[in-house]
Chains A and B, each alone.
Chain A
Amino acid sequence: MKYALLIYAAPGTYKLSDPELTEAWVTYTKAVVDAGIFLGAEQLADTDTATSVRVRSGELLLTDGPFMETKEHLLGLFLIDVPDLDAALDWAARMPNAAHGTTEVRAVRSGRPWQAVLGT
């Protein structure tokens, strides 16, 4: 079985500069890797940098901000590596999900201390 662990927190809960918290994430990541269960993990940029993409009647609709509708649930995620937001939005619009659901596009952070554990 595979599981996705989705980390939710209220805005402002996490201070990226907090050394204790940073250490806790590094420790946690080491533990997951040492357990041999690690598949992949990313830290998303703030929700206010998100863009939501829908296609309705063939028309591309973009919304500035994260996807908030609570009736729908997060089904999964794709990690892709493309040059810029335009390319990412294009791939989001091509998802089979786009015509009835919503795909939230979020940039992924790099160079965080916990990622050094993974050698990335």
Chain B
Amino acid sequence: VSDPAEVVERAYRDEWSAVVATLARRLGDLQAAEDAAAEAFASAARLWGRNGVPPNPGGWLMTTAWRKAIDQIRREHAVAADPERLAESVGSAWGAGSADSAWPAGTIGGDDRLGLVFACCHPALALEVRVALTLRYVAGLSTRQIAAAFVLPEATLAQRLVRAKRKIRDAGIRFAVPAADAIQVRLDSVRTVIYLIFNEGYTSSDGDELIDTDLCDEAIWLGRLLHRLLPDDTETAGLLALMLLHHSRASARRDRDEQIVLLADQDRSRWDKALIAEGTRILDVAVAERRPGPYQIEAAIAAMHAAAYTFEATDWPQIAALYGSLARFKPSPVVEVNRAVAVGMADGPPAGLAILEPVLASGELASYAPLHAAHADLLERAGRRGEAAAAWARAERATGNEQLRRALRSRRDAVSSAE
């Protein structure tokens, strides 16, 4: 605690996003909020070393940032006088002299942070823009880190953020929790953004690039934040549980040669038991509320896998039933493929093939490798080896990942040579 540089650094990690959130709501302008926060942290770095660390660093930063923001508004309006807007920006919530009052401890963030989340995830912004804004301003990653994680030039990402901040300000997107009749639709967007970040982390870990930012960890952090702010929302709890349960398998997904290991072949002793316990507990509390939804169902499926000590011990009938519920909430051919796999395990290959039949006939997923792999596996287990070899070949052609292609080729070779 004694080293001021360290205190500033920790304050940056702990308070930056909350300071930005509070300023953004008061100013209606994320860029102005960011600029004022940057000035406040620069002042802290300068003054704390000389004068000592204030007793309430977060409050000090908030008060200082707010003063900087008001100074900036005054400077702008000295040039292009717009007294109405000045009064609007500075006056309403604070009254005269409020700019000089200190920010009490423990009053930063909270609802402001939730408002910032909803603004960053507003559906009037493109999905990739929502993702970038959320990582930058809610999770507090730098533009360099975000650009690296998404393999984008930093300038492209910075430009995207500048434009997004301008749209939020000029189009009138509010830093506020939406009204009750709109909150579910808006929450869907927030959860979509968080889950997309998680999945990006999940798949990018399969690539060759060395990435220093773990998007899975960031997504889980965001999921925890949202769950803490909205503890009664069962789907938000479901999303957090789903991510924790998936992430529990992270270290078992790779072997020593960094090759992908499929669920059936994973060393289950390497699954993270603490994450499984936490995810399962959060899911149990949510499910008891009896307000089901797709995230809770997907989390329940992940929990069934996590509870099986061996692949053979997996409760396939239960998983098949859960995929049935998921298909009712969110009908999609991809869910049908997963359901076919589970039913094939529970009731035998012919039952699984029967579910796959209409998906194959529709041709909708013709270029979706998991469809052909599921088809091939069911055919092989049904003893239809010739057809299975052809399906493995289709799966091989549809996959873009070299590692997976090799795995599929060896399955095809095995079934062909056995014939």
Contact = CB atoms under 8 A, between A and B. Distances in A.
Interface string A94-108: 000000000001110
Interface string A71-89: 0000000000001111011
Contact of A86 (B129, B163, B167, B182): B182
Given A111-B82, A111-B85, A64 B170 contact: no
B109 interface: no
B170 A45 contact: yes
Contact of A85 (B124, B126, B163, B185): B124
Contacts of A48: 163, 166-167
A43 interface: no
Interface stretch (B134-142, B172-180, B249-257, B397-405): B172-180
A49 B166 contact: yes
B386 interface: no
Q: Could you say which of B125, B126, B172 has the most chain A C-beta atoms within 10 Å of its C-beta?
A: B172
A42 interface: no
A46 interface: yes
B174 A85 contact: yes
A85 B129 contact: no
A62 B123 CA distance: 7
Nearest to B129: A64
Contacts, number: 48
Nearest to A111: B82
Closest 10 CB pairs of A and B: A64-B126, A51-B124, A85-B172, A49-B167, A49-B170, A84-B172, A49-B171, A45-B170, A84-B174, A62-B123
Nearest to B127: A64
A62 B125 CA distance: 8
Interface string A53-82: 000000010101100000000000000000
B385 to A, nearest CB: 44
A51 B171 contact: yes
A74 to B, nearest CB: 19
Given A62-B124, A64-B124, A107 B129 contact: no
B178 A107 contact: no
Given A64-B124, A64-B125, A86 B178 contact: yes
20 contacts: A46-B166, A48-B163, A48-B166, A48-B167, A49-B167, A49-B170, A62-B123, A64-B129, A64-B167, A83-B174, A84-B173, A85-B122, A85-B172, A86-B173, A86-B179, A86-B182, A89-B124, A106-B171, A107-B171, A111-B85
Interface of A: 45-46, 48-51, 60, 62, 64-65, 83-86, 88-89, 105-107, 111
A85 B185 CA distance: 15
Contacts of B123: 62
Interface residues of B, number: 20
A85 B125 contact: no
Interface of B: 82, 85, 122-126, 129, 163, 166-167, 170-174, 178-179, 182, 185
A45 B172 CA distance: 11
Contacts of A107: 170-172
A115 B163 CA distance: 26
Contacts of B85: 111
Q: Could you say which of B171, B173, B185 has the most chain A C-beta atoms within 10 Å of its C-beta?
A: B171
A95 B182 CA distance: 18
A49 B172 CA distance: 10
A34 B171 CA distance: 32
A17 to B, nearest CB: 10
A86 B121 CA distance: 13
A105 B173 CA distance: 12
Contacts of B185: 60
A88 B172 contact: yes
